[in-house]
Structure 1
């Protein structure tokens, strides 16, 4: 029986013993086997490679008009388009479109929506844009705001925010499409992601005059953007405004504001928002509790965080990995890794299974506390519990072993990491290189660098900083210069560590003038590579060693003018130089008092008080006027309690 007759039989005879592979309602056709081509005029026409019969009877596609502008079989084509889009079969989709055009089928906007989304799922936003522009001319289907919003959202989902705004501007200005609330929401989202908050606020204010009342999503998006720009007060004021306008906040609205306040450390206002949330009938959910717990842990208030965890359970909100991971991370940051470990044991007794991020936090904390044995035991326990380690856990273990002076063992872990198909990252490699340099095995560090390049691991500024610093400390200035040039050749900007390491290497080699030239280059770069107190101390030490105290003092003036405060090392460098270089020698008390006065005039009271502490520790005489000046500033009304607490701490700690 010919293929066509067989299919006709199955469609007409519902009692066919052979199950039908095609459904008119949910068609999924394998177009890699059967292609849609022009139908044969006769069922007896021989098949050939150019004209393969489609898996649908031509009876379904008769050209007679039915139901106004639609024809019999149009809905079947629409189903085919939707199913091809859902499965991502764009080749077959194009063949369906071609046949529809040949048969002069009606293209409706509804069938383009899943195609746009399919392009978004395939990370091909430009194809969605191209299809949108072809809708009217090629398919005689005039797009509406629904199609426009779908394509707009596809571009935004790919984080192509500038491209999205270009598309929006072009369509709104050249097409007769009126934006709706969703359009405005997407525009505001794109602008917030780009940091164009003021422009986003302007667009927000344009909505009511254009008969588009902002909805809860509009307010949430703008609030989130304001919070990320540290404009919390403006975000909170929108909460009152939206309620006045008759838009009732949701739990998401409150969570956005609570997260912003917790990130800023303003837990008092965050607690008041929770109360307001309850008054408005919005029940705190897992996100609310996790945000508050995270904020309390950042402030070091672990007791309150744990109390809130108990309240969370009482409110029938189930704590998750984020909740427990946040508390354990807070304990580790406070140096209470063993408490975090005990909490993990307690949770496991209650049926909770920790994830790899919790283990990485604890492993790293144990190593930092000098408990390498406990860290290794926890690592083995993790493997025994079938918790597969990821890059973060492996990197934590490698870094910990290197801190313990065991880079060779860490190298074995790196090999194990590769065997487990877990690609080492730049952090793992830089930790291992640092470990080899620390133990004097600079040749192994260099071999590891070459291995990293051979493995196509993405090197970054951190890796270069570690390599340059290690080579300079090992006295291999020439090799460090080669790495420096290679870093610049690859387009990487040196960070403050790289600059400081190179300056230190040059100064140690007696090339102080070259070190100063590099320092001047550093000053001309952006804020990410500006010199810190370590950089200045390197140059102070080199200049004072050459008895160039006046030059060092000029550099100190530059340091103060650029807002960098001196520390204990700075004071010791100058005190030593004044005692050993000048004739007659000076004890440095006058020099430090002048430094205190200059810092006080610049309103840098904390830095001035540290210099006073240095003078007291060195038993250097301090004028009563200087002492009074600093003490009065520290003990201003708003700082009295802090000063008292510090005194008690100094007395009893």
Structure 2
């Protein structure tokens, strides 16, 4: 939850609002000739430095302003040094105030606590708070308590914040709504959402009413843990309690629903927003655009951009970047280029992330020339290439097989003071493997480790895949053991690569053991993994085991594809049982239909038609009935009608 809202609330409660009645319109400089009698006392105590205040300041000329040797002048200096972070001068002023028995107000102490907090010195801030009564003669109240608590929460010292909060009762301080908000925020940050809700329910018992910030903090914590339904119910509760939700509140819920892909409920929240007189802002639109792009609905995202402009809400770089990235992921790079031109016409300068997305998309689309031109255009327009941009460019060059140029760009990247990351090195390794230069890939791996870039699951997967595809199973297994030894969990690519290497070496049983490990772990096998094993079993003449594995594949929710069908057709054909091939695939379609997997069934039917093996009439009926359910047909008709008459 953004701290800006907390600051605004704090300013309203005058927690941090410390008016400065006096200011020093000139800089203070001291020489050895401007030493006061007080300075002599300081030096006699062993402190060999010029005093922060000279007596001349209080008898300055009328042009400089008239000052009295009173508390307000000291207070002004404390405020000035606290705001500037000049702690050396600040401590000198505080020491002199203590020696002269000056009055310390809570406002002054709060400014000092805030200064130490802004400098990332929570222990110093707590020392000042703890010394308020004894050292400064100033009573501690809920205002200074909340200020110190805010420092701890803002800097992420949550456990220390909880301990500090528990001291409130022993100090005779009654927490207010701001105190609860800070502790609830800290609990949400550490993922203890149930503890935050428990404290939230305790607030009315302590005569504290939750405000919009309290509800928004809880909603954000719930959404981040995937408990969006509870977050939405809190919206209803806060409105019943008479607490008016802000745009921040609505945006949190919209973001949570969009992350889950529930765009229907997200749009209802937007409608609720309008009903409450809360106008959607650029954050609302950007969140909806991101959700639409995640679902692949870029056409609706473009339409939303037009609505955003018509609603007098100015799109920003995040808006355009989200839309461009969504179009690139859908393979609509030409449309993304048009959006780039559109944003430049409206005075928005693309940043390195926009350029990175476009360069990557152009390379993937096979348009390397346009990608190179865009890269040069980025540099000419003064947009500094970051690690993200360089990594995207290097990855694109490697996809084109231009590893020599990719190597040169990596050197340029280092010369420009931009540190390569694990993605940069991994892309280069993949490029060398693709070019058939496994030795070059190993050199890049060694260079990555020597430069202090720790390998991760992705880089290990690239290395294992390259070695196994190059027939270097022994080396691949060594890397596999090294990865496990470092606590890196293999992903589906690493597992599939190792299984490929084992099956290619005729060690199919070991590959099946790895499959069992996958099923017991977090990385679940996909169609590629099963196809590797199915092919290995069929090559070994173990067709019955392959059929059993295919049944297990269906049970795991993994649909066969064209390669799966071809593996069995090839082996059935070799045994001169092509008449049974149609029966085999026909039965496969029926099994998929029974499991409600119409898409997978349609894929197999398409393969059968391509191979001139038409399904039985009853099989046709099952597939068509499943594809043409009443609801789906009506939806298709309604869609066509809207497109025709809109």
TM-score bucket (shorter structure): 0.7 to 0.9
Please, which of 509, 514, 520 is the counterpart of residue 513 of structure 1? Answer: 509
Q: What aligned pairs does 1:115-514 form with structure 2 within 5 A after superposition?
A: 115-125=112-122, 128=125, 132=129, 143-161=140-158, 164-165=161-162, 167-168=164-165, 170-171=166-167, 175-302=171-298, 304-514=300-510
Q: Measure the CA separation in 2 of the matches of 1:172 and 1:565.
A: 60
Does the C-alpha gap of structure 1 residues 453 and 73 become closer, same or farther in structure 2, counting only changes over 3 Å? farther
CA distance in 1 between partners of 2:617 and 2:156 (Å): 61
Residue in structure 2 matched with residue 573 of structure 1 by the alignment: 567
Q: Contact conserved, 2:362 with 2:371, CA < 8 A, in 1?
A: yes
Q: Secondary structure at the match of 1:587?
A: helix
Structure 1 residues 605, 309: CA separation in 2 closer, same or farther (over 3 Å shift)?
A: closer
CA, structure 1 residues 201+619, in 2 after alignment: closer, same or farther (shift >3 Å)? Answer: farther
Q: Deviations over 1:557-593 (max 9, x none)?
A: 4444444333333333233334436x86773444444
- In the other structure, the counterpart of 1:110 is 107
Deviation at 1:95, TM superposition (A): 6.1
Contact 1:28 1:84 in 2 (8 A): no
Q: Compute the displacement of 1:540 (Å).
A: 2.0
CA distance in 2, matches of 1:565, 1:415: 44
In structure 2, runs of 5+ residues without a counterpart are 1-20, 59-68, 641-646
Q: Which secondary structure state, in structure 1, belongs to the residue aligned with residue 167 of structure 2?
A: helix
Larger mean Cα displacement after TM superposition, 378-387 or 107-116:
107-116
Residue pair 2:106, 2:144 contacting (<8 A) in 1 also = yes
TM alignment of 1:547-626, pairs within 5 A? 547-580=541-574, 587-620=580-613, 622-626=615-619
Distance in 1 of aligned mates of 2:43 and 2:86: 28
List per-residue Cα deviations over 1:596-638 (Å, max 9, x = no partner): 4544454444444444444444444544444444443333333
1-side partners of 2:304 and 2:603: how far apart? 38
2:535 is matched with 541
Q: 1:602/1:292 Cα in 2 relative to 1: closer, same or farther (>3 Å)?
A: closer
Q: Counterpart of 2:17?
A: none
In 2, Cα distance between equivalents of 1:217 and 1:243: 13
How many residue pairs were aligned? 609
Is the 2:593–2:626 contact (alpha carbons within 8 Å) kept by the matching residues of 1?
no
Using the size of structure 1 for normalisation, the TM-score is: 0.80
CA distance in 2: counterparts of 1:458 and 1:33, whole angstroms = 54
CA contact (8 A) 1:401 1:409 kept: yes
1:28-47 aligned at under 5 Å gives the runs none
Q: TM-score, normalised by structure 2?
A: 0.81
Asked if the contact 2:30/2:54 (under 8 Å) is kept, the reply is no
* 1:356–1:390 CA contact under 8 A, matched in 2: yes
Please tell me the root mean square deviation across aligned C-alpha atoms, in Å. 4.0
How far apart in 2 are the matches of 1:490 and 1:499?
16
Determine which of 610, 625, 628 is the counterpart of 1:632: 625
**What is the DSSP-based 3-state SS (H/G/I as helix, E as strand, rest coil) of the residue aligned with 1:171?**
coil
The 3 A distance-change label for structure 1 pair 301 and 532 is closer
Query: What is the CA–CA distance in structure 1 between the aligned matches of 2:629 and 2:474, rounded to whole Å?
Result: 54
CA distance in 2, matches of 1:211, 1:362: 55
* Inter-partner Cα distance in structure 1 for 2:446 and 2:299: 48
Unaligned runs of 5+ in 1: 1-22, 62-71, 648-653
Task: Tell me the CA shift for residue 208 of structure 1.
Answer: 2.5
Instruction: Write the deviation string for residues 476-498 of structure 1: whole angstroms up to 9, x where unpaired.
Output: 22222332233233332222212
Whether the 8 Å CA contact 1:232–1:261 is kept in 2: the answer is yes
Deviation readout 1:219-254 (Å, 9 max, x if unpaired)? 222333344444444434433433332222323233
Residue equivalent to 2:61: none
For 1:28 and 1:118, locate their aligned partners in 2 and report how far apart those are by CA, in whole Å: 22
Q: Distance in 1 between matches of 2:207 and 2:364?
A: 59
Shift of 1:439: 0.8
Kept in 1: contact 2:259–2:291 (CA 8 A): yes
> Kindly tell me: are residues 602 and 311 of structure 1, through their superposed partners in 2, closer, same or farther at Cα, counting changes over 3 Å?
closer
Q: Which moved more, 1:351-360 or 1:394-403?
A: 351-360
Instruction: Measure how far apart 1:376 and its partner are.
Output: 0.8
Deviation at 1:167, TM superposition (A): 4.7
For residues 431-479 of structure 1, the C-alpha deviation after alignment (integer angstroms, 9 at most, x for no partner) is 1111111011111111111112222224322111111111111122222
1:426/1:457 contact within 8 Å kept: yes
* Cα 1:43/1:50, change in 2 over 3 Å: closer
Match of 1:14 in 2: none
